[in-house]
Structure formats: structure tokens, C-alpha cells
A and B are shown apart, each in its own frame.
Chain A
Amino acid sequence: MRTGNISGVDAVFSHMDAPGHKKFELLLQGLMGDLYRYAYWKCRDRGQAEELVQETYLRAWKSINSLRDADSAKSWLFTIFRREYARQFERKRLEMQDVEEMTELPDVKISFDTRTESFVLRRALSTLSDDYREPLVLQVLGGFNCGEIAGMLGISASAVMTRLFRARKQLRELLASDEVDTALRGASA
């Protein structure tokens, strides 16, 4: 109890017995990390990502009874996030941080990959347009297949595949990987 963290909330939370609470707890324990990271890459702002993830879970709780299939939990949660993002930010058209700020991750705790390679990759990822970056993040980080991404983005699966192809191609060009570039030129010819 004698720390800066509000630890007592864990005990209160674990003793909640409302219907759907266990399901909610699993969603929180299992998916919050990936959801936050997706939110970060979507918003490119840590504070907005945190706020949106909190709102997403509040909304998820309100409709927790509509979640019946554990296999679809992740896409269900990410879809709630996307709706919340659209509601809060696309309407307001808030300014996003630029690439220079974004690559300097604000969290001082060194608990992520700090290799130069990762830094360069993050920077390259930041330069992709939203249309290309989002499906790539959903696939690589979220583990969704093209059909699932298509459903979430409201576009066709073939459009998703095209975006993913171009996203990887652009990234590799940015990173100037000779071997792959050569192969890519052949693939896109």
C-alpha cells in the first residue's frame, strides 16, 4: 500500500462479481498490451493512446455481453478501439505529432528494443502513410489475417493485400536492403 501505485484497486477489481467480469478481466490481461501498441502506432501520441485504450475498455465493458466467441475477442476489441478513435479524433481532426518527435519514444524506461536497427525501423514505419501503416501494424503486431483486417478497415481483402505489399516494399526501400530490394523489384514488375 505504501507506494506511488494505486495497488488497492487490484484487490477490489479481483473481487468484482458482476456478470461478464471474468471475460473483461481476460480481455484486459491478454490484450491490453497489443491494444495499447496498436493505439500508439495509430495515434502516434502516447497520451492519446492511453486515453483511447481506457475509453475502449469502458466501452467494451458496456457491451461485454455481445462478445460470445473468444476467438473473435481481439478483433472485437480492436474494432471498438477504431470506432472510438474515429469518434474522438477524426471528427476533431487533432494535429498529430511529427515524425521527429514520435521516434523519440517518451517513456524513459528502457524495456523495449533499443537497438539501432529497431530505432531505424520505427522511424521508417512512422514515415508510412496511415493507409499502409495501419494494416501492417494490424498484421504484424495484432496477428490478424487479411480477411480480418479487411473487416476491421471496411475495405476488400485484395485492397488489404495491396496495401500490405506496398507497405513492406516501401519499408524495405527506405531501409535499402539490397538483397530484398532486388527481389522486390522482380515481384512488383
Chain B
Amino acid sequence: MSATAPRLAPLWRITPVTTSLALASRVVARNLRVYRRGWMYLLSGFVEPFLYLLSVGVGLGHLVGGLQVGGRAVTYAQFVAPGLLAAQAMNGAIFDTTYNLFYKLKYAHTYEAVLATPVGTNEVALGEIGWALARGTTYGAAFLGVMAGLGLVLSPWGVLCLPVVALVSFAFAATGMAVTSFMRSWQDVDSVALALLPLFLFSGTFYPLGVYPSAVAWLVRVTPLYQGVDVLRAFSTGTPSWSVCWHLAYLLALAGLALAITSRRLRRLLAP
């Protein structure tokens, strides 16, 4: 042992990933135990996008008529459903890593005791993100089932929607956690909703980018939810192109960057 100042090595480098994942899964299990009693609250997450689908997709769809996606004619409901699917993956994932995480960090001091166990800050990050991802993906799977039942999935490519939903959930869960780690007050947390609403409304969810002036269209093209909307729509309508790869790479990079930031920030916040 040297007398020079030692730095705590990042745990991932010195721990086999299996242990890290096993411990992260215990953090997921904790959340599962909490919501075992709050299933009504979980259920509400399923209902909201379904109502949107009925009112906007089916109701408004009667007035709108058909559209073209990748050269294929689709009904408005078929157009809007994958957009809602992406938005649901985002919403389902981000709530847990923003509001709930902020509460645990600042008020409940939940992790103060957790970090005295073999669980470290990286496992906390992985576990919380994993839980949010699982929640977003479960909602997505249910909604995808509804879509299929209503004839809104037009191709076997639609099967790929599920892993994409998981990726969208992952990217937004990680981003939410990274952003939350910088927050100081509930006002900051409330600003999340302010950021999510325009994403939900303007990411090509309800209409194609063609209606925007080209500058605005390009702006939307670099926002995160648009990536998910475009890929899911390509798969559910059976019109994938190579641009799908770019969208997926974007989401993966976003998730990776957010994870790296989260890992650093949590260590500073929780293990100074």
C-alpha cells in the first residue's frame, strides 16, 4: 500500500460484469417490490396512449384520410400508432429516472444505506435505468399488442419494434438520470415535463416532417424522440431503409453518453 493519494478505481474495471449485473438486478427487485402494491399506478401507464390512439388515430383519422410512408399508402391510425408507441417508451422510462430518482437522491436518502452494501454507484445507476427500461418496454409491448390487434402493424418487420422500444426506453432512462443528477430543486424537475411535451408533439409523432419549413425539419431530425418515431414507423409499416441504422446508432450513442455522465455524477453525489 502506497502513501500517495489513491483514487478509487471505477468499479466496472475491477469487478466482473456478472457480479455488477447481479447486484444491479437487486436494485430492480427493490422497485418491483414497491410497485407490487401500486399496480393501479402502473396500469395508468398503459391506458394513456391507448386513449390517444382512439381519439387521435381513429377519431381524427376519419377527417385526415390517408398518408404516404416510404412510398406506401397508410391510414392515419397506421401512421400515428408507431409515433405514440415511441412517445410511450419515452414517457414510461423517463418518469422513474427523473421524479422518482430526484426524490430518492434528495429526500429519502435511499442510497445512503444501499451504498454501504456491496452495491456501488454504478450498480445503482444500472439498476434504476434497468427498471425504467423494463417498465417502458412492458408498456410498449402491451401497446404493440393492441396495435397488432387493431390491424395497425402492417408487416412482419413489426416484430423488430419491440427491441427498438427497449432501446428508446434505455436512451431516455439514461438521459433522464444524467439530467436529474444535476438538478437542485423541484422546479428543475418540473422543467422535464416542459421539455418532454414539445418532443411528444413535434417529433413527427402526429404528422410527417414535410409540413415543416426545411430548417425546422432539420432541427427535429436531431432531436432524440424523432429517431425512435422514424424507426418504429418504418418497421410497423414495413418500409425500413438504411436511415434506420443512423437512428439506432444515435440512440445507442445517447444512451452510452448518458450512462458515462451518470456514472461520474453519482459517484460525486453519493460517494464524495
Q: Do these two chains interact?
A: no
